[in-house]
Structure 1
Amino acid sequence: MSVNAETASAEPVRGPRAWWVLLALIVGLVGGIVATKSGDGIREPLIQVTSIVGELWLNALKMTVIPLIVALLITGIARTADAARGGRIATVSIAYFLVIFLASAVLGAFFTPVLTGIFPLPPNAADAMQAGLASIGTSAASAAVPSAEDFVRNVVPSNVIAAASNGDVLPLVLFTLVFALAVTRIRDQHRKTLVGFFEGISDALLVVIGWVLAIAPIGVLALAFGLGATAGGGAFAALGYYILLVSGIGVIVTLASYPVAVVAGGLKFGDFSRAVIAPQSVAISTRSSLASLPAMLASARILNIREEVVDVTLPMAVALFRATGPAMNLAVLFYIAEWMGLEPNLPHAIAAVFVAVLMSLSAVSLPGEISFVSSIAPIGIALGIPLAPLALLIAVEMVPDIIRTLGNVTMDVAVTAAVDRRTASRK
């Protein structure tokens, strides 16, 4: 999909106003804490009402996930295959995207548990948050991770419809990947018809998510009230820990852009650092890679990257490439696992890496809160981690989303330099 097409498809979709959602979270948590001190006569009826409202909103958010996985994967694979047909520069760009996606996913899956082991969530905060989940119908007990043997046995689906119905994401993703690859091999007329059909489905579902998120302040307020009433002040500590952990993983990916530019791109560290200041400033202020594209184009030309590479790789990067996505998405889910006392095993971690890479290929340029749901929920289902915490974490996604955009923009310029050097050496 071109940048222009991407912008057009995203235009009707509006995310929630981040400050309103954050305010709803704070008001809900404080309200729940205050209600607890008012006695059960007030607390219990309020928890019953807010839990119903919160669960309805959460279910509305979850109902789009399974069909969205299929639609986004098929259009994402088709879009990537079309881009790879655009010549050597496009092919080399795609290769770099895939390698960095994989490295990013491995970082998120295996380094996040290391960080949580060194700097664990405070025990009182973890216990309080687990208790708080019970108020929205989710508990650690109900979220037991299946055994490695059962997990491996069910990777290949015998019935893809049943897999979708049961929420078995990994078998569904595997089938969809195979189907999407097959779509790229059929006649152009049929391929365009199928891809257009699934693009229409994904666009419609993203609009539905936009509608659900438009009332996010109400849903988050309801969920946060129940959490505050049961978790108390521990909820604030746990959410602060989340922001630091996920943002820290994003900072690591951002810092990795510099050796990519120096080693793979052949640039001087100082030259690259100075050139990316302008796009980084736009990224921080707008949280949009698309809005940062003009500044990225200018910085690439300052670095003397060839025009033909700049004109191909940077727009492709904006449309297809989210370097921080796999790492930070997996960090979110491993944080939830830590929160709930779950320990995903090695097969689950490997599957999470696989799904994270594929969902990153399917990412589109949308407001961070919308892509937060569409990209992370499928990985969470694959890991067997409940999605209820995502509905609360979306309220504080504004800060990590700044780091996401900062890292994406920095890596976009670094990869463009690497593609330039790689293709120039083979001319």
Structure 2
Amino acid sequence: MNLTAKIFLALVAGLAVGAVLPDVGGSDAVLAIAEPLGNLWLQALQMTIIPLIAGLLFTGIAESIGTAGGGKVAAAALFSFLVLLLFSATWAILFVPALLEYWPAPLQAAAALTGAAPGAVAAGPINVGDWLLSLVPANVFKVLAAGDMLPVVVFVAAFALAAGQLPARQQAPLLAFFDALKDAMLVLVGWIFVAAPIGVFALALTVGLKAGIGAFGVLAHYVAVLVLVQVTLILLVYGLMALFGGGGIAGMGRFARAVLPAQAVAVSTQSSIAALPAIYEGAERLALPESVSRVVLPLAVSIFRITSPCANIAVVLYVGHLNGIAPGPLALAAGVIAALAAAVSTGGLPGSITFLAATVPIANAMGVPVAALPLLLAVELLPDIFRTLGNVTADLAVTSILSKRLKLESAPAPV
């Protein structure tokens, strides 16, 4: 049994035991042990987030610059990736609050789960000038000590871009340092995740004692919301193909048939890299030029994950909903910045690590508590399938759209 399955079973067991224990007796004594034990595991995870994000973001940006190579096709691909990632983040910001307003979580159980009062309360007004100043830390060590993720993300991203302008002999030691930092943190996270079933069981037991059987309903509702936001994003990708991929509805049908084998691999493996050969076959079925597909597809699989901003922002908005927090425009903007950084930096990692490394900075940027995130990690089995499904679909879609655009740009002007 893999670790993800063990974590999921620990979640179910903890919630079930917590739900029935008050009827048996001794729940107060159990709570006194389970709550600090679960929080201990959560804090152990949190202590790795800042150095892990620093290592991931620096190496992710540096490797993206190196992979792009500066060619016309690569530059067009990178610009398209950025536009589509912003589109993905915007869709979550528009769709999730509207869905939760129409179909809210069972807030009484949610309140017991989080300790927050039911009912969303908008965050107080934020001064634009103060918000902009907060993005650029006067003392980076001070914000590191305070755990303010957004200025750390901005600083590390700017540092990585600046390092990319140095000669190779000067870049190498910096890249080696941050690569080693990333790898060391991944080893430490691996050690902490050995105890993940115990930590998740303790957290779930605490939730079960406070929320009862209603906690199952909250988690089922969360999974449904996360799946819906990703399914609608995938449908929008098909719509973009109809608009910009050429051929209208008929062209979208050809695309749907071409991408289907890659989608089957994505669902069965939950790996975009494993689906890459099938994506190449889809590009051949669409008769896309190899001069485009051989550049765009490896880039897309490496650094372009269209579902990442959408799903991760949706997770944080949902946790905010459970805590009665409705982030304002500037908090949402901060979350988008953190989500874009996560989309660039967390590729190639196990889903459990990617989930926390991506969502914790977004939650911090939006002012949303992170205590519920390990519980939501435990039910990532189904949403993660749709993450990969959407990524594979968008990889072939952006390659097809770029092929059409670049072909039109290179066509000779009519005489």
Q: Give the TM-score taking structure 1 as reference length.
A: 0.90
Aligned to 1:36: 22
Deviation at 1:326, TM superposition (A): 0.1
Pairing partner for 1:47 from 31, 52, 58: 31
The CA deviation string for residues 387-418 of structure 1, in whole angstroms up to 9 with x for no partner, is 11111101101110001000000000101111
Give 1:227-376 correspondences, 5 Å limit. 227-267=207-247, 268-376=251-359
**Which segment is superposed worse, 68-77 or 337-346?**
68-77
Contact 2:20 2:212 in 1 (8 A): no
Q: Report the counterpart of residue 70 of structure 1 in structure 2.
A: 54
Asked if structure 2 preserves the Cα contact closer than 8 Å seen for 1:16 and 1:213, the reply is no
Q: Check conservation: 1:213, 1:370, Cα contact below 8 A.
A: no
5+ unaligned residues in a row in structure 1: which ranges?
1-14, 134-138
* Matched-pair contact (CA < 8 Å) for 1:129–1:234: no
Paired with 1:313 and 1:16, the residues of 2 have a C-alpha distance of 33
Letter in 2 for 1:110: L
Match of 1:190 in 2: 170
* Contact 2:292–2:399 (CA under 8 A) maintained in structure 1: yes
Partner secondary structure for residue 266 of structure 1:
coil
Instruction: Provide Cα deviations, 1:126-154, integer angstroms capped at 9, x if missing partner.
Output: 223233x8xxxxx99xx996751254452
Q: Determine the C-alpha separation between the residues in 2 that align with 1:151 and 1:35.
A: 46
Match of 2:71 in 1: 87
SS of structure 1 residue aligned to 2:372: helix
* Cα deviation, residue 100, structure 1: 0.4
Aligned to 1:98: 82
Match of 2:160 in 1: 180
* 1:292 positional shift: 0.9
Aligned residues: 403
Where structure 2 has 5 or more consecutive residues not aligned to the other structure, the ranges are: 411-415
1:6 match: none
% same residue: 40
Structure 1 runs, 4 residues or longer, greater than 3 Å off: 143-147, 150-153
Distance 2:230 2:48 in 1: 27
Query: Equivalents in 2 of 1:185, 1:295: separation in Å?
Result: 36
Matched residue of 2:378: which SS?
helix
Quick check: 190-199 or 353-362, which moved more? 190-199
Contact 2:246 2:404 in 1 (8 A): yes
- Give the counterpart letter for 1:79 in structure 2: E
> C-alpha offsets along residues 134-190 of structure 1, whole Å, 9 cap, x if unaligned?
xxxxx99xx996751254452321111110110111222222222122111111211
SS of structure 1 residue aligned to 2:166: coil
How do 1:95-174 residues align onto structure 2 when only pairs under 5 Å count?
A: 95-131=79-115, 147-149=125-127, 151-174=131-154
Matched residues in 1 for 2:388 and 2:183: separation?
22
Deviation at 1:93, TM superposition (A): 0.9
Shift of 1:194: 1.1
- 1:268-320: CA deviations, max 9, x gaps? 11111111111111111111111111111111111111112221111111110
Contact 2:34 2:206 in 1 (8 A): yes
- The structure-2 alpha-carbon separation of the partners of 1:314 and 1:231, relative to structure 1 and needing over 3 Å to count, comes to same
CA distance in 2, matches of 1:187, 1:144: 48
Answer whether contact 2:148 2:364 (CA < 8 A) is retained: yes
Aligned counterpart, 1:422 = 405
| Cα distance in structure 1, aligned partners of 2:271 and 2:68 | 24
Matched, 1:383 2:366: yes
1:57 to 41, 45, 53: 41
Q: What CA RMSD, in Å, does the superposition of the two structures yield over aligned residues?
A: 2.0
